[in-house]
A and B are shown apart, each in its own frame.
Chain A
Amino acid sequence: MTMTLARPRARAVLPLAALCLALALPALLLTLRDAAGVLPLDRWPAALASPDLADPAELLARHALGPRILVSLLAGAALAFAGTLLTQALRNPLAEAATLGTAAGASLALTAATLFAPVLLSAGREWVALAGGAAATALSFALASGRGFSPVRLILSGLVVTLTAGSAAATLMALKSDYVSEVFVWQSGSLLQNGDGVAKSLAWQLALAILATLPLVRALAIIGIDDRAGAALGLSPARVRLGTVAIGVVLAAAVTAGVGVIAFLGVAAPALARLAGARTFKARLVAAPLLGALMLWLTDRMVAALSTGLELPAGAATAVLGAPLILALLPRVRSTLPQADNAPPAIRRASPRLLLGIALGILALVLLALGFGRSLSGWSWLAPAQWADILPLRAPRTVAAAGAGLLLGAAGALLQRVTGNPMASPELLGVSGGATLGVLALMLASSVALGPLSAAVCAGAGAALATGLVLGLGLRRGASPDRLLLAGFFVSTFASSLAAAFLASGDPRAQWLQTWLTGSTYLVSGGQAAAAALAGLAVLALLPLAARWLAILPLGAPVATALGLPVAASRGALVALAAVSTALAVLVVGPLSFVGLIAPHTARMLGLRSPAQEAQAAALLAAAMLVAADWLGRTVIFPWQVPAGLLAAVLGLPAFVWLMRTGRA
């Protein structure tokens, strides 16, 4: 009896032990090497127990390298523990601090406090981080629960919140540029330690979280399988979930406060634990933190070993290592995700006059943006005598914003139709992230300043590659809409982590990158503006040609095939059009704006539900939003300026949450 029980258990433990050994051995060797570099190994035990602090070597052993190793283990374990709780409670293999918006919210709160109200930080970073992290997580949940609640939707809501919080933080930093690299070093998850303070607080925070989890473990193990089974046992699934999510969020926010944002570990560790044979929740609760601790330990030591002077922060490194891992895991993960919710394929003819009205409204808005503004003497209309001086400055920005809006709005509407997912948008598909990666690749490969042309070429190439990658992963098994979006999500996160690492590097070109990332029309030339506008108008004109595809595709592949539609080809063509549009727009307004997500919803809210009209209206509305954002950005805090892309994101998200909540979209 005992024999038969023992055998499967031994089989389950074997791959896990092998994996742990594979992680721990190189980490240990690197650590021994680094430790010997600080202090002869035989003196370490004494230095840790009762250090002679007057000896710099013993000081560094006891208060720098020692705590750093400990923090890498503790932070890794804590993030993996939080990730295990969140994935189980939400029955969502991709739920963790970075995907639910927790880390970004905590990071935004800390950035804002650092720049504008440092006095808030005197009492400790944890409280500020917790407030921001909890608020952002609540926002993700609110956004996801508008109409029906699904794991995919939660992750996408979390991404919207994450990207918006990132935009808001970038806006703040654009206004206080002198701290940029310092804030980014911390944001990108540096494990540098200046004593044992962080290690101590992480230790008790993790211990408290474990204690708080103990009474929930049994209930969670059952809930992970089925709510009804839990209810039959007399549990309140909602309460158990809420309590578990709270523990996970608080723990993750505490880690963010201590060491910054370390992405993907909370997802990667539980996923690896499962792959290594930890099939039950209880087994993962032990195995995942163990793996998480070892993974961060190894990552941090590898980063230290590879660094020459300026060190890549460990948080950025986990993103770089973790993103491909997650992408590789996606096909497996997919099977455990429930179906995505489909946009209702309602078809109703709206009056063409409405479309005309929107177009006229935009014309009026453009005239306002060109003519009305602020100067030394206050708000005023441009006098004809000033036209020759001021219009060459204003017109390219306004026209570029309008053109980029047309492109993004059309792309958003196309993607939402094709994927049948109301959360689809160019920002979330990873196309924008790909453009960012293209520019970063050029900056890393050469040390010259970037010209607009080389940046354009690289952004375009990056966007094309990312789209290809996302499509390749997403379409491999029958064009599943969710997988497409999830793959895009990881491309976006990967790009932003890498960008943060570059901004932290102290490279003088970081400022240029920052300007571009924040989506400012400041440097747009007349030629670029005209190109964006022409491309936008061309896409607008192409949309009616795709009306039939757009109407039939959301009905699902079987129906579409039955109606004689070449499903894969039509999807491919529409997604390619969306990708090209996005790449062109991103060059002008940067990778973040969200008008591509919001505008199609606004169009539907206005009653434009026939596919081609919806897409055209979405394009026009997105143009209006970006023109308005650009105008506001130029005037509100004159003579300072807020980038249009950021302003559109920061103002757009609350509007979007409201739309989703009221269920009118």
Chain B
Amino acid sequence: MTFPKTGTGALSRRAFLALGAAGLAVRPAFAADMRVACVEWTAAATLLSLGVAPVAAGDVPDYPTWVVEPAMPRSVIDLGSRFQPNLELLVEIAPDLVVVTEGYGVDAGTFASLAPVHTLKTIPADGESALANAAAEARRLAERIDRPEAALRLEAETQAAFDAARAGLAPLAGAPVCVASLFEERSIRIYASGLVDEVLDRIGLLNAWDGETGGWGFSYVGIERLATLPENTRLALLDPLPDPVRLRLEASSLWANLPVVREGRVFQVPPVWPFGGLDAAGRLARILAQALGTS
């Protein structure tokens, strides 16, 4: 008798998991087999940086534009919008775990009847460190997928990235830096608090921006505010910077005459997901060290 190959695999895996749940001490062997779906990118990137590829994730096509690293394997199934992941598809995939991110459109309750749910918290509570939160969340997810050692490794890698960047940036120690994204040529999104701010601190730089922020830790202000940045501030503009925006920016008489622009202290750097976890923090440290280290 023959069954479709995927069918048998799924059956045996479920049977084994049932055994595991019954208390047999062989869980690490199945952990690699755990099929995890992620609703949005921070969850997917955190999972990937723990060494596990998600079986499915929200908005796979745009991931390389905004997050880039860790690279998403081609095998990952697109779940559709990160704010409205396709529930029928999710049921069809039947993951062992769905990672939902708090404050991200859909809430965990939507998935509760479809699959086991793990909730990732990416926005730290008031006064809490974003990096400490990201580390704790990575640990919690690692435990949930039975890879606690992977979280330790990720933390060590992130710390190493900070140390290397700090060493490379030693000549600039304490220099003011402003990290921002531009989506249209009149306004700028400046990362004021949270992950970006703490990474700057860890690699020995000073966040030049101390303006007001919203819930996501950034200020959205007119570009004229860049005129009053502290002297010698370096401005790191995260990609993607759409071409027409760049062209119109170059045509802008205000932009062209901003001190930071006239003195050549604007650096266009590769994309980093500013709302990400430890992996994004490490990537930001590496990218800033590379872009600013030679300046």
Contact = CB atoms under 8 A, between A and B. Distances in A.
Interface of A: 53-54, 56, 59-60, 63-65, 114, 118-119, 121-122, 174-175, 177-179, 181-183, 185-186, 190, 192-197, 308-310, 373, 375-376, 389-390, 392-394, 505-508, 511-512, 514-515, 520, 522-523, 634, 638-641
Given A195-B254, A195-B255, A310-B220, A177 B82 contact: yes
B186 A192 contact: yes
A639 B80 contact: yes
A59 B104 CA distance: 40
Given A60-B224, A376-B93, A508-B216, 6 more contacts: A60-B254, A119-B244, A190-B186, A194-B185, A638-B89, A640-B80
Contacts of A511: 83, 104-105
B84 A522 contact: yes
B260 to A, nearest CB: 10
Contacts of B87: 393
Interface stretch (B12-20, B133-141, B245-253, B281-289): B245-253
A507 B219 CA distance: 11
Interface in B163-186: 183-186
Given A178-B62, A506-B214, A507-B214, A194 B223 contact: yes
Q: Say which size band chain B's interface belongs to.
A: 35 or more
Nearest to A122: B244
Could you tell me the dominant secondary structure of chain A's interface residues? helix
A514 B87 CA distance: 19
A165 to B, nearest CB: 20
B224 A641 contact: no
Contacts of A194: 185-186, 222-224, 249, 252-255
A182 B224 contact: no
A197 B85 CA distance: 42
A309 B89 contact: no
Given A190-B186, A507-B214, A639-B89, A309 B219 contact: yes
A119 B92 contact: no
19 contacts: A53-B262, A63-B253, A177-B81, A178-B66, A179-B183, A182-B187, A185-B220, A194-B223, A195-B253, A196-B253, A308-B212, A310-B214, A507-B214, A508-B216, A511-B104, A523-B110, A639-B89, A640-B80, A640-B81
A192 B88 contact: no
B224 A185 contact: no
B258 interface: yes
A264 to B, nearest CB: 23
B88 A393 contact: yes
Contact of B88 (A185, A308, A375): A375
Given A393-B91, A508-B216, A515-B84, A118 B242 contact: yes
Contact of B254 (A64, A181, A514): A64
Contacts of B62: 178
B124 interface: no
Contacts of A520: 84
Given A64-B222, A119-B243, A53 B257 contact: yes
B64 interface: no
A182 B227 CA distance: 21
Contacts of B222: 64, 192, 194
Contacts of A65: 224
A263 B215 CA distance: 30
A118 B228 contact: no
A63 B261 CA distance: 15
A65 B189 CA distance: 20
Contact of B86 (A190, A197, A392, A641): A641
